[in-house]
Structures are given as C-alpha cells and as structure tokens.
Amino acid sequence: MTDITGVLAKADTNLDASLERLFDLVRIPSISTDPAYRDACRKAAEWLVADLESIGFTASVRDTPGHPMVVAHHDGATTDAPHVLFYGHYDVQPVDPLSLWEADPFTPSVRELSPDRTPGRTPGRKVITGRGTSDDKGQLMTFVEACRAYKETHGSLPCRVTVLFEGEEESGSPSLKPFLTANAQELKADYALVCDTGMWDSETPAISAGLRGLVGEEVVVTAADRDLHSGMFGGAAANPIHILSRILAGLHDETGRVTLEGFYDGVEETPTQIKAAWETLGQTAEKMLGEIGLSIPAGEQGRSVLELTWARPTAEVNGITGGYTGEGFKTVIASKASAKISFRLVGQQDPAAIRTAFRDYVRAHIPADCSVEFHEHGGSPAIQLPYDSPLLNTAKSALSEEWPKAAVIIGMGGSIPIVGDFQKMLGMESLLVGFGLSDDRIHSPNEKYDLQSFHKGIRSWVRILDALATAR
C-alpha cells in the first residue's frame, strides 16, 4: 500500500499552480456546437495533450469527423496494476445570453460569494467562475492534478491509466461511438471513471450507482385533410387534439402507474437497505417541490421523491402542438396534432419493447378514418451497478476519508449515454464520481465551481486511485 500522505500534501501545495492550469484551459472558448469555435476546440485538445505529456503520459490528438479526441496512456507502478479509463469532455456550452454574465465567461477567477447570493450558506464561500469550470473542465482537471501530485511524489501512478477526453459531449457526441468501435482494444480497461456528476451536498460526496435509460417518441395524429371551421364541422369531424389528449391521459392510471402493456417488465424493487439510506438524506417532497413552486408529489403513489426520480420508470409528455396557438382566437379544428413523449427506464427495461408497446397502444386508440405516424428520438437502456459492487464500496470508503460526511450511493434521474457505451461496447463498469453542486449553474450564465470541490476533488482522486490499486 502506497503512503499517500505526501501525495495529499503535494496536492495542497500545488493548488495555486493547479488553479492557473485550470484557468488556462477555461480561457479557451471550446464551444463545440458553434462552427466558429472549431479552432478553439482543437486548441483545447492540444493544450490537454501538452499538459498530460508534462506529467509523463503518452498523449495525442486524434482526429474525428468532428472535434478531436484526446487519448493518453500511463503505466502503473507495477505491471499487474489495475487499469482504469478516465473519461471527461473539454467542450463547453454556448454562453448566450452574454448580457446575463457578471464577468467575461472565458476570463476565469476565484471570488467570494456574498451571503445574499446563496441563501442559507455561510459567508466566505470561494468559487471558480467561468464557462466550463464545473461542466466539465474543472472536473476533469481534478483527476489530471491528482495524477500530477502522485507523479511528483512517487515518480509513478498506482494504476495503469488511459485518458479519453472528447470535444463533442455538449453537441451530442456524434463521433464517440465510431471512435470507441475503431479503438476498442486500445481503450478497454478494467473499469471506467467518469467525473461529470455531482455531490449530494457541499459536504457529502456521492457515487451514482444507477442511470435511467431513455426512449424518445414523437407522435403525429392526422384527421381531416385540412384545418376545418369549427362551426361547420364541430361535433361531426374527428378532432386530432381530442384524440391525442385522450391517448396521453391514458398513459397513467389513477395511482400514477404507467399503463402500457409490459411496461414494468424488468423493473426491480430498490433494496430496502438502499431506500433506508436514502431516507437519511433528509429529502422530502415538500423540500424538493417547494424549490420549484409546487407541493403535491405526482407519479406512483407510496414512493419517496428520491425513489421516484432515481429508481422508478416514467412516462412524461414533453410537448404538445396542434391547432391555432398564435395571438387572439381562431375557431379551427386542426388537421394534425402532435406530441413528444419521453420514457425514463430503469433496471432491465428494454427500450425497443417500450417503444413497440407505446406505438401499439397509440394505434389501438386511433379512429379508423384517422392516421398516425411516429418519429423516433433516441433510445438507451438503464445502467445499474450492483449496490454491493466492490468497485462502489472501495470508492465509497476512499471518498469518506476525505470529506466531512460519509459518501452516499445515489441514483441519477438523467442519462449519460457514454456510460452505456462503455458497458455495451467495451464491457466495462463505470464509477461515476463528481464534485459538482446543484447551484453550479451549468449550461447557464455565471457558471461556477466551488474551490473546495476542485481542491478536495483532487485529493479524492488521489485516495480513489490508491484504494483501487490496493484492492486489486
């Protein structure tokens, strides 16, 4: 077992220099969605390659049809050391509207938040400001700086490390799957480390054990061959808005359960001990919904809000279009009506089976003289690590050594497709550890990353790398 006392001390003494390196990366406006920033994306990739090479990694920029990948490798302290693949992304969201930023989004700084900016927080909270500080440049640099502290202290890393940084995460990752396919042998490791998630709160680190899957569907119901005058045809002609409304309303029963045939196939109950652990986090429907101006929980009855958002499947209507929606009033029966529906999946639910069940359900409720068409908007299965996974428990113990409160195992309501790709294409489990906070304003003006998240994030990765090497 390596003595990491010196490594942690090195991470502390390196903090100012680590911040300057992060500032250098944040200053590069690597906005992947805007072609005007194509050169900036390449510059960010090249900066990362140079920085990784300065630590002793063999690193390179890998071209793709879109923005380049960064791939780097470093040997472990021993030939049988465990092999980890660390993933992050260097691209960032656009900054619009620029007028809402309190400072230039690509001029990072450390500043102290005033008490009125963060109700309930104590004064003196220092944050790093700028686009990408939390999503994901600050996060990925916690790992890089942990490797730096290790190398400067011991001259080696405890694990074999492969790094994969992409430049298209914020624009749908179109090049990622082809790149994984073409380079599967090079990128395959014992497990993947993903630092694009968050903590439970500012003192409690979290490991995400589950990610819900996703099925996206758009349905278009057509009745008459043109819009109709509601006085002349109302009551006689089919109204596609009525038809679609009944269909959507029928997706749930009176208890909040989804009514599709076979929808709950593959859904397992969350272990009692995990639900008990979630109860200790103190989240209530009143707290969660009160922050958004609501108070009454929806969804399946008899479930906590954390279970509903982390461990249960859903069907949500994301948009409805039909008829006249402009200013004023128009007495029209629309020819068409459409809706966009998303299903969040858990456990072993099959995205293809859910899509088929939904389409069968809709078709069964379309009148004979009307028609329906469907447009697919992606699909991915859920990801669930066993709650008793040695990987989770090793990381949990390491994180708990660093933070004021013990680490918790949580779920995530959203989806991170790369995690599924790692599992399906490379056969790797992923450890999802991040240090973002819910008020980091990612994708919004005035993005920030707590200085403590950056500092203790570096120290956390030192501990996790050591723990993974020791547990082997």
Q: What is the pLDDT of residue 388?
A: 86
Overall fold of domain 5-211+383-471: Aminopeptidase (3.40.630)
Q: pLDDT tens, 133-156?
A: 999 999 999 999 999 999 999 999
Of the candidates 342, 308, 310, which has an alpha carbon nearest to the alpha carbon of residue 214? Answer: 342
Return the DSSP state at 61: E
Mean pLDDT, the chain, rounded, equals 94
- In the predicted structure, residue 122 carries a pLDDT above the cut 70: no
CATH number of 213-267+313-380: 3.30.70.360
CB-based burial of residue 219 (10 Å sphere; 0-12 exposed, 13-18 middle, 19+ buried)? buried
Look at residue 123 and tell me whether its pLDDT is greater than 70. Answer: no
Mean pLDDT, rounded, for 256-260: 97
- Given a cut of 80, is residue 116 above it in pLDDT? no
The two tokens of residue 38 are 């194509």
- Strands 336-345 and 314-322 come out as antiparallel
Beta carbons of 171 and 32 less than 8 angstroms apart: yes
pLDDT tens digits for range 73-107: 999 999 999 999 999 999 999 999 999 999 999 99
pLDDT at 119 over 70: no
Which residues are within 8 A (CB) of 196 and not within 5 positions of it... i.e. 6 or more apart? Answer: 87, 88, 89, 135, 136, 139, 169, 416, 432, 434
> What is the b/e burial string over 155-165, where b = at least 16 CB atoms within 10 angstroms of the residue's CB?
ebbbbbbbbbb
- Taking the chain, what is the end-to-end CA distance rounded to the nearest angstrom? 11
Nearest CA to 42 among 168, 163, 143?
168
Summarize pLDDT for 193-247 with one digit per residue, the tens: 999 899 999 999 999 998 999 999 999 999 999 999 999 999 999 999 999 999 9
33 pLDDT exceeds 80? yes
Condensed to tens digits (0 to 9), the pLDDT of residues 329-353 reads 999 999 999 999 999 999 999 999 9
Nearest to 136 by CA among 211, 197, 179: 197
HSE, CB side, 13 Å, CA atoms: give it for residue 179: 23
Instruction: Give domain limits for the chain.
Output: 5-211+383-471, 213-267+313-380
List phi, psi (to 5°) of 26. Answer: -65, -30
Read out DSSP for 85-117?
EEEEE--B-----GGG-SS-TTS-EEEEPPGGG
The model's pLDDT over 279-335, given as tens digits with 9 standing for 90+, comes to 999 999 999 999 889 999 899 999 999 999 999 999 999 999 999 999 999 999 999
Task: Write out pLDDT tens, residues 375-412.
Answer: 999 888 998 888 889 999 999 999 999 999 999 999 88
Mean pLDDT for the stretch of residues 26-55: 98
